[in-house]
Amino acid sequence: MNGKLLLITGAIASFMACKHQEQPLVKERSPRQEFPGLFEEVQTARIFPDSKTFADCAPKASPASVLQSYAKERTAVGFDLSTFVHNHFYVPAAATSAYVTDTAQDVIAHIESLWNVLKRLPDTANTWGSLIPLPDPYVVPGGRFREVYYWDSYFTMLGLKESGRIDLIEHMIKNFAYLIRTYGFIPNGNRTYYLTRSQPPYFALMVQLLVSAKEDHKQEILTTYLDVLEKEYHFWMKKPTEGQHTAEHLITLKDGTTLNRYWDRGTWPREESWREDILTAKKSPLHDAVYRELRTGAESGWDYSCRWFEDGKSLETIHITDIIPVDLNCLLYNLEQTLADAYNMKGNTLKALQYESAAATRRDAILRYCWDPKTGFFRDYDFKKEKRTSVLSLGGMYPFFFGIARAGQADSMTLVLQKEFLYPGGLVSTPFETGEQWDAPNGWAPLQWMAINGLLNYDKTTLASEIADRWSRQNIRVFKQTGKLLEKYNVKDTSLTGGGGEYPNQDGFGWTNGVLLKILHMQQQGLLNNGKNIDTL
């Protein structure tokens, strides 16, 4: 080999090595797997008030080295577990510790300034920590949520689009595509302890949002992400083994209809809520079997709500794996429609027809199994009891958002929404107060948006505008009092902020910022008329 060729070959090798180093790490092992024994000891001892903190810690040396030190030091006189953890792990910084709100700003300017505060650059993560590195920038929700979250991100993107931050939308979609191509699905968040589950499948809506921002590039966008959309679809549609009626997310009913449920592959306590899950299991009639139910509840995004409870009030009776959620199946209906659209763009008529047929079949099944004519609302379906569940929830509004509800159903649902869900600060997630964060008195930005946009789809502009007005006023009221935009809000008593659940109310907050900015811009544009003072209270 001559010198010149050797030099070129060496340069290529060096370039390829650099490119390889730039690629994110593919990580599979969670903290519980990396630190057996130590992980359980730290979580049980409650070294940190929030179980998620240790799950997010990154070791300063290899797990093997840390475990070796632990085995050697733990029997020494005066051993202190907290000191050991702080000596051997990088502890994440306190949430929002460096950011101070400029109270002179109006709320729109505040949100615009927050995008860069919540933005994270491409990861160069500690090799042994739980963070799954992502190749592009992304926006986190805020507070204890230091990583990207799947369904949160769609509602954050609504606001990014209003701010003209199409660059960030594209980066985040690329990250989610990377996760699907690497792991076969989008995990709950980019942490190894989330690799047993996903979250509500909003990726197709994200792609559609990007298309709406770059309409001239629709064909390019849809065909670019076609493989990713299809791979996510297959994750949710994995077929059962011969002779079985269930296969993780897929349920085959007695008449042969197939619909979907949530399902986590794990059967142990959530690593980010270790102690909390063990305490729940001690009270649960399901005993250790409750761990899968709790984990599956986290996949739903509604962690937790009485819509999943056997007795309608107690977390320890959670049985979400028995339930076919109406909102999940509406999201998959949209994914099927998006795949049909993408295949049409690609010129594959046969595949397009297959997905159009799948979407039509699912729409008919949602109408058949989830519409409740007695109450005039869509409900979840318990496939083991072969009947609809008793709990009304805003999950029932998803057929509005995706245009599945019929005109008469829309009229009925509007009345139920006003009577059961509407309060001075917006919509409650369910009408029931259980102490769980996804029940009354709390309202959440994503559900306000799904309801508002769904109502607009059926020309229910008056009620849509009233909900938007009440919700935005409550957001702004709390912002003026506290300088913060929060994860959730008390919509029944607007003098209070939201609460309940496993952790304090967080601020930041990605999806609240996104939905509020979208609503305020729509009000400014006259697309929402600031309500008509509907008297339903």
Cα gap 18→459, rounded to integer Å: 55
Cα gap 56→60, rounded to integer Å: 13
Q: Same structural domain for residues 405 and 481?
A: yes
Q: Same structural domain for residues 51 and 125?
A: yes
Mean pLDDT of the chain: 91
Q: Are 453 and 476 in contact (CB under 8 A)?
A: no
Q: Which two tokens stand for residue 43?
A: 């979580």
Q: Same structural domain for residues 308 and 176?
A: no
Cα gap 399→406, rounded to integer Å: 9
Within a domain: 107: no
Write down the pLDDT at residue 127: 79
Write down the pLDDT at residue 92: 92
Cα gap 285→304, rounded to integer Å: 18
Q: Please write the tens of the pLDDT for every residue from 458-495.
A: 999 999 999 999 999 999 999 998 889 999 999 999 98
Write down the pLDDT at residue 501: 72
Percent of the chain with pLDDT over 70: 91
What stretch of H or E contains 254?
none
Neighbours of 525 (CB within 10 A): 8
Q: Is the pLDDT of residue 348 over 80?
A: yes
Q: Same structural domain for residues 447 and 299?
A: no
Q: Same structural domain for residues 409 and 516?
A: yes
Residue reference for tokens 């799950």: 55
Q: Is the pLDDT of residue 6 over 50?
A: no
Phi, psi of 281 (to 5 degrees): -60, -35
In 3D space, the residue among 28, 49, 53 whose CA is nearest the CA of residue 39 turns out to be: 53
Residue 530 banded pLDDT, cuts 50, 70, 90: low
Residue 500 banded pLDDT, cuts 50, 70, 90: confident
Write down the pLDDT at residue 498: 76
Q: Same structural domain for residues 302 and 221?
A: no
In 3D space, the residue among 465, 420, 412 whose CA is nearest the CA of residue 440 turns out to be: 420
Write down the pLDDT at residue 503: 67
Write down the pLDDT at residue 9: 36
Instruction: Supply the DSSP string of 137-194, one letter for each residue.
Output: -EE--BTTB-S-BHHHHHHHHHHHHHTT-HHHHHHHHHHHHHHHHHHSS--SBSBGGG
Reported residue count of the chain is: 537
Q: Same structural domain for residues 38 and 144?
A: yes
Q: Please write the tens of the pLDDT for every residue from 361-418.
A: 999 999 999 999 999 999 999 999 999 999 999 999 999 999 999 999 999 999 999 9
User: Exposure pattern of 256-278 as b/e (b: 16+ CB <10 Å)?
Assistant: ebbbbbbbbebeebbbbbbebbb
User: Exposure pattern of 114-138 as b/e (b: 16+ CB <10 Å)?
Assistant: bbeebebeebebbebbbbbbbebbb
Q: Please write the tens of the pLDDT for every residue from 303-342.
A: 999 999 999 999 999 999 999 999 999 999 999 999 999 9
The residue range of the domain holding 302 is: 283-324
Of 266, 297, 324, the residue at which a domain comes to its end is 324
The verdict on pTM exceeding 0.75 is yes
Q: Same structural domain for residues 131 and 202?
A: yes
Q: Same structural domain for residues 69 and 212?
A: yes
In 3D space, the residue among 143, 236, 133, 150 whose CA is nearest the CA of residue 188 turns out to be: 150
Within a domain: 526: yes
Residue 243 banded pLDDT, cuts 50, 70, 90: low
Within a domain: 91: yes
Q: Is the pLDDT of residue 5 over 60?
A: no
Within a domain: 345: no
In 3D space, the residue among 406, 530, 397, 375 whose CA is nearest the CA of residue 464 turns out to be: 530
In 3D space, the residue among 26, 240, 22 whose CA is nearest the CA of residue 122 turns out to be: 22
CATH of the domain at 164: 1.50.10.10
Within a domain: 381: no
Within a domain: 380: no
Q: Is the pLDDT of residue 506 over 90?
A: no
Q: Is the peptide bond before 193 cis (omega within 30 degrees of 0)?
A: no
Of 232, 256, 291, the residue at which a domain comes to its end is 232
Q: Same structural domain for residues 307 and 444?
A: no
Q: Same structural domain for residues 156 and 51?
A: yes
What amino acid positions are annotated as catalytic residues?
303, 487
Within a domain: 368: no
Residue 23 banded pLDDT, cuts 50, 70, 90: low
Residue 104 banded pLDDT, cuts 50, 70, 90: confident
Q: Is the pLDDT of residue 13 over 70?
A: no
Q: Is the pLDDT of residue 533 over 90?
A: no
Within a domain: 61: yes
Please state the domain count of the chain: 3
Q: Which two tokens stand for residue 198?
A: 């996903």
Read off the pLDDT of each residue in 232-241 and give the average, rounded to a whole number. 91
Of 304, 324, 344, the residue at which a domain comes to its end is 324
Write down the pLDDT at residue 271: 97
Q: Is the pLDDT of residue 499 over 90?
A: no
Q: Same structural domain for residues 531 and 418?
A: yes
